[in-house]
Structure 1
Amino acid sequence: MKKILILLLFISSLAQAQYSVKGNLHPPKKYTWVLLYKVEGARQVFVKNTQIKQEVKQVDGKNLTYGTFEFEFPADAKTGAYRITYDLQQNGFVDFLFNKEDVELSFNPGDVEGTTVFSKSKENQLYKKFLADIATAQYKVDSLQVAYLKNPSQQLEGAYKKAVENISNVQNSYANSSKGTLVHHFIIATDRYNSPTVAKSSQEYLNGVISHFFDKIDFSSSYLYNSSFLIDRIADYVFYMNYSRDAKEQERLHKKAVDIAIGKVNDLTFKADVIEFLTSQFASIKNIELVDYLMTNHFEKLPKENQNLEFKKNIDEVMATAIGRVAPDFTWTENGKEMSLSQLKDGQSYLLIFYSTECSHCLREVPQIYEFMKGKTNTKVIAFAMETSDTMWKNYIKNLPGWHHALGLGKWENKTARMYQVNSTPTYFVLGMDKKIIANPEKIDDLKMILGSLN
């Protein structure tokens, strides 16, 4: 009976076992809070947060200030990839794997990838060592490939073959020693393709890497899905492996790459996440061609229940003022008559200025533009004033005859200003006769150069 009671107590203690993650960051700078997230596909799920404490430690006879923090994992915490975010503004974070063990790590916020050290956690220590060893072996292979392309020789061919055999041995050694661990799945998926014989041209080499890029990656693996691994690999493939200096060829390569990457994913929820991720990346650089391609050929072909309509709305808003789009229409009253941008027909091109009489930069630049535009009759100007009241504006526009003048009360919260995503004044948009946006210059000198070419 006593043995049974001891056994029950032992089982109970295991069931209630909790694990923690402790961290040290140096220098701590201005960081005061850290947040813990569970990484799931392209999303991160909030777990908890805590404050960073300042501690002075003696290292090599010197007193150094460290930021320390500690999280206790919930009793029901799932194994997988987690993220510690210490800087929300600059997207500063460090990822790690959790598999029912305590984790202790230290890092320099200025160089997370190069400085993160795990003092506790066999899984993370093994993964870090693997990545370092495989990177060294891969560097040797790549160096010999580059050397051969510069100066082909049988000696380099032989050295290359041996280097490929070595990297295969390193890969297999870690794959075998990691069996039964969480990190094993990541080690297998990291196995990069290397041609058994040296490539005779850079294009042959690149074609080999691209065509075999996803060979060892299991897109149905829940272990890989519940981490940033798959999204990172897809980003590498689309944005770094498919590159051309020629704009048209780059566009073609990007379209082909997104088709292949998205085609690898069968899970509809994750497929939607991947489509949203790639679309957001292209939207951030206002690549209208790829955003439209992704939305038309992938997003809109998802089942209705997997289409995030809020995401679509946000993308439409972000891309509304991208170069190539027809400028969003708006109306204003001018000399007692209602006017609209879409109905203007008095110019071969148009300059839309968002400014404010309360903005010192505007008061300096707008008169310069007015003087510059004298005699340039091809381009008509629409000056949209973002104001808190019309008092100063009524007097100000008397000095700018010949322009279209629109008043936008509410200043930053003005509906038209928000539609055009105006976050600073002055903001300039150059439009064609059809009201398509042809330029969105930030500097007045660039604006003058564009206007000069149109007149």
Structure 2
Amino acid sequence: MKKIFVLSSMLCAFSLQAQFSINIQTESGFNEQEAILYTLNGSKDIVVTKEKSKNNVWTFKYPKSYSGMMKVYFPNTNNSVSFISENKNVSIKLETKANKVQNVIYLDEANELMNSIQETSQKKELILPALAQIKEYYKDNTDFGKALISEIGKLSGTAGGVDQAKHPFVYFYNTNYNKFLSNDANKKVTQEEIVNFIDKSNDMLESSSLLRPVLVSYLNVGGNTNVAQSVDALINKLNVETPRGQTVLSELIDIFDVYDMNDFKTKYLTLAKNLKCTINDRLASTLKSNAATDLGAVFPEYKFHSPVNTTAKTIADVKADKKVIVFWSSTCSHCENELPKLLAKYKDLQANNIQIIGLSLDTDKNSYTTKIAAFPWINDSELRGWNSSFAEIYNIHATPTYFILDANNKIISKPNHVGDVLEYFKLK
């Protein structure tokens, strides 16, 4: 699952002479007016600007050079479309039905090529093993056997043939994905190779979406018993006073947060806090979001969107001796296992003036509505998934995530699991 930044009016002040433009067109029945353009920094979506529709066409003018992943998000219908830029004009047509994007047609050369390579890669991973098994039952000299051999040959090839000079980002992404993240390559890659890749790559690394998975691969190759040694070796090589080093440090802190590796998160978050040099935006946002949700901090305010089981307008309006905030989703298997245990103790919690507030990262209204019918506590959702504003406000990287607040909305505990919540209140 996973984010949306608060728009600043300054971000909308674009020069008239754009470096390149992004043109998104939809069918006339698509009921949406606003669209938001994002670039990428590591695993963070960064808001660039927003535009209004003109006859179901959105045109974004990007004022500087950029090669990497981009995204356009339609907030009112909760649709998004991802694409790449190679510092050239992008053109996309969306086929829609009932206000949902059904198909994306890439009209510019770079995105057509990237899409073709991705489709071939998916077929290679999903279909090639099955074709190899089927081949055992057919003779090579039959028509079907020959067709199988031909298709296997096509899918067995790499996504090569990309002209690096003509399509630098397509080449960068696919070459390094195949080298560091594909099923075959992942068995052979070494930590030294990954360190060299991160250290020597150009700025396309941050905009490629490869950084987070490559870092996870790096930690996996090093093994669970050598995490600190692996991380120290990496950040010492990169130098945490450089922008690349700080972005990697930020990503690692988030990774440790996702996987409940709290000791490592604390260690490297402390390192980040103690830096005396200028901090880049990526690390600054990590420090800010963690500080806002640290033990002892007052829980950042949130105005409810469409709450049920309450007349309160905000979290602060909810009056209770203590509050349990749970971020969850109806599609989350861990939530499916944990929330019923919270439900079983809900009356005991109520008896002690403890209120539960569930903030859902769902996107499907029916799924969300059906699920909360069983939950008598306060529930709210923007129905925007990881584009929900509170995912960024509260530094949420996984579901379920819990906070316990006192009567003054101060964070007094950050349980990892529902068992920890019940143990805190001596209800386990």
TM-score (norm 2): 0.51
CA contact (8 A) 2:238 2:245 kept: yes
Task: Using the TM superposition, give the Cα deviation of residue 215 of structure 1 relative to its aligned residue in structure 2, in angstroms.
Answer: 8.7
Task: Using the TM superposition, give the Cα deviation of residue 73 of structure 1 relative to its aligned residue in structure 2, in angstroms.
Answer: 1.9
Counterparts of 1:280-295 in structure 2, within 5 Å, are 280-283=254-257, 287-295=261-269
For residues 201-252 of structure 1, the C-alpha deviation after alignment (integer angstroms, 9 at most, x for no partner) is: xxxx96435658739946534351351334343355268x569xxxxx75x4
> What amino acid is aligned across from residue 214 of structure 1 in structure 2?
I
> What amino acid is aligned across from residue 293 of structure 2 in structure 1?
V
| Secondary structure in structure 1 of the residue aligned to 2:422 | helix
Counterparts of 1:24-35 in structure 2, within 5 Å, are 24=25, 31-35=32-36
How far apart are the structure 2 equivalents of 1:73 and 1:18? 7
Partner of 1:233: 213
2:113 maps to 1:130: no
Match of 1:85 among 73, 76, 82: 73
Cα separation, partners in 2 of 1:185 and 1:32, compared to 1, 3 Å:
same
The alignment-based identity, stated in percent, is 13
Task: Using the TM superposition, give the Cα deviation of residue 354 of structure 1 relative to its aligned residue in structure 2, in angstroms.
Answer: 1.0
For residues 237-287 of structure 1, the C-alpha deviation after alignment (integer angstroms, 9 at most, x for no partner) is: 268x569xxxxx75x465466456656746811221221233134336654
Task: Using the TM superposition, give the Cα deviation of residue 121 of structure 1 relative to its aligned residue in structure 2, in angstroms.
Answer: 0.9
Cα separation, partners in 2 of 1:192 and 1:226, compared to 1, 3 Å:
closer
How far apart are the structure 2 equivalents of 1:101 and 1:69? 15
Counterparts of 1:200-239 in structure 2, within 5 Å, are 207-209=187-189, 214=194, 217=197, 219-225=199-205, 227-234=207-214, 236-237=216-217
Cα separation, partners in 2 of 1:135 and 1:96, compared to 1, 3 Å:
same
Query: Any gaps of 5 or more consecutive residues in structure 2?
Result: 1-15, 135-149, 300-319, 325-342, 356-393, 395-401
Task: Using the TM superposition, give the Cα deviation of residue 45 of structure 1 relative to its aligned residue in structure 2, in angstroms.
Answer: 5.2
Partner of 1:305: 278
Partner of 1:117: 105
Match of 2:158 among 166, 170, 186: 170
Match of 2:242 among 245, 258, 268: 268
Partner of 1:333: none
CA contact (8 A) 1:272 1:306 kept: yes
How far apart are the structure 2 equivalents of 1:116 and 1:107? 6
How far apart are the structure 2 equivalents of 1:115 and 1:90? 15
Query: Any gaps of 5 or more consecutive residues in structure 1?
Result: 1-14, 56-67, 148-161, 199-204, 244-248, 323-327, 329-351, 371-382, 385-417, 432-436
> What amino acid is aligned across from residue 354 of structure 1 in structure 2?
K
2:59 maps to 1:71: yes
For residues 27-65 of structure 1, the C-alpha deviation after alignment (integer angstroms, 9 at most, x for no partner) is: 987754212234345555544311246x7xxxxxxxxxx
CA contact (8 A) 2:26 2:96 kept: yes
Q: Which has the higher contact order (CA 8 A, sep 6+)?
A: 2
TM-score (norm 1): 0.48
Cα separation, partners in 2 of 1:51 and 1:235, compared to 1, 3 Å:
farther
CA contact (8 A) 1:275 1:299 kept: yes
How far apart are the structure 2 equivalents of 1:255 and 1:146? 43
Please say which structure displays the higher CA radius of gyration. Answer: 1
How far apart are the structure 1 equivalents of 2:45 and 2:405? 28
| Secondary structure in structure 2 of the residue aligned to 1:306 | coil
Partner of 2:52: 51
Task: Using the TM superposition, give the Cα deviation of residue 126 of structure 1 relative to its aligned residue in structure 2, in angstroms.
Answer: 0.9
CA contact (8 A) 2:25 2:58 kept: no
How far apart are the structure 2 equivalents of 1:446 and 1:421? 9
Cα separation, partners in 2 of 1:273 and 1:132, compared to 1, 3 Å:
same
> What amino acid is aligned across from residue 36 of structure 2 in structure 1?
L
| Secondary structure in structure 2 of the residue aligned to 1:272 | helix
How far apart are the structure 1 equivalents of 2:180 and 2:347? 58
Partner of 1:354: 322
Partner of 2:359: none
